[in-house]
Structure 1
Amino acid sequence: MTYQFEVCALASLKLDGLWLGGPASMAFAAAEKAIPCAMQLLGSKIMLAGSDVHRERAKEYLSFVQQSRKDIEEVPGLRGGGRLSVTDADMREDVLPVLLPEEAARCLSLERIAEIQRATRTFLVFDTGGGSVMARGMRRLLVCGGTEVRRAEAAARARERTVQGNRHLVNSLQESEVENMPPSDPWAKLLTIPWPKNINEWGRLQRTLWSGHPKLKKGWIRCMSSSQRQEYYVRVADGISTFDPNEALA
């Protein structure tokens, strides 16, 4: 394989040098390793060293990441899509398209994408779907470069991240639903179970007995006086108790 040096004006490639050297520096480094093709920014120019195919691919990948961030609002966790539309992604031997639910794709922050790229020596970028019809709420992630095995590994890691993110989303929604529920009747619930014998048992029953109730300060739990049928509060660290909610409520 013949390797050659090439120096191109960034303007001729429609690339922004300041952006590539700053916010896109992680993508720049990832593209260099995924192709592979050595690249160096030289002011308003870029020097590339590699085969003819690899040099062309390097220019293309840099264009990918820049177009992916064009004309979009910053969305936490997403790498964009912007104007990038790779119409031949499904037919290319260097690209593996991966469809992800949009909410799950939000879990792929730039830092997590960088982790996957470093571990698999691939290049990841979102596009708009390449003109293909995608189900509503789906995003397309393009896993580029590397080998077929590395692209498959990167895709698996991306899906794993989104599964973890979905779990976090579900848990957050469940907690929100609990917080928005009408306050439970702890006395009525206590009548259906054995009366708690100690602080540990009261601690395990907090969510069961007091769902929908205001949060307490960290380290405090609720208990119930059987004789007074009244709620009181215990600071677990030292066992101090009080019937005054102002001392325990967050």
Structure 2
Amino acid sequence: MERKRAELYRMVMPEHLCPFGVKSKYLLSKAGYSIEDNWLTSREETEKFKQRVNVQSTPQIWIDQQHIGGYDELRQYLGKGSAKGNPYRPVLTVFVAAFLLASALALVAFNTLFTPWLLQGFLAISMFLLAMLKLQDVESFSNMFLGYDLLAQRWVPYSYLYPYGEALAGLLMIAGMLNGLSGPLAIVLGGVGTVSVFYAVYIEKRELTCACVGGNSNVPLGAVSLTENLVMFGMGSWMLLKVFQ
């Protein structure tokens, strides 16, 4: 039986190997196609190719002389779904990692998972990990944060201080130290955030991107962001309550 034929045009240069071209070739090979692998070995050759076939990017794929498109279009053609994936994946990854880490620490410290600290540790570690993602690029975070946070819009330095405050509050909560500081700090961060997200999403009906996992994310601003801030506010209230017990 004759194998199905595919033509692939991708950038293969000494200074650059297109990763999407490599992935496209792998998918085609795995799907059983006989591949005509055409290398574009210079920027000039690549630009001429794009002008000739009227496309904006490479790689480009043809299957049985039918133009499929680039890597993402190939994935969809083969039934693999979009390469862009779930926009909520970064947040879910943080929460899963936080729960696993909190569980490991609970086993070390208490020799059991059935301890009230597990919930506190999970939420506090989540705060710390989210702050870490923001701190990777504070400038990008502040740009996105200013799009919806009411306090940051009135006092710009707050957009830079926020991730440091979130990291400090989370770290203190993990250690169970200085509840009189971590509690009010989390209440302020979570309270302002709750009001800001609710106002932007549910009052103004704006479609924005959340800065909860940093300034380069595609997480939509909405219920997840609102829940994160409500949890932070609740954690702050719980830690402050401990001060008076």
Per the normalisation by structure 2, the TM-score is 0.28
Higher strand share: 1
Which structure is richer in relative contact order (CA contacts within 8 A, separation 6 or more)?
2
Larger Rg: 1
Structure with the bigger percentage of helix = 2
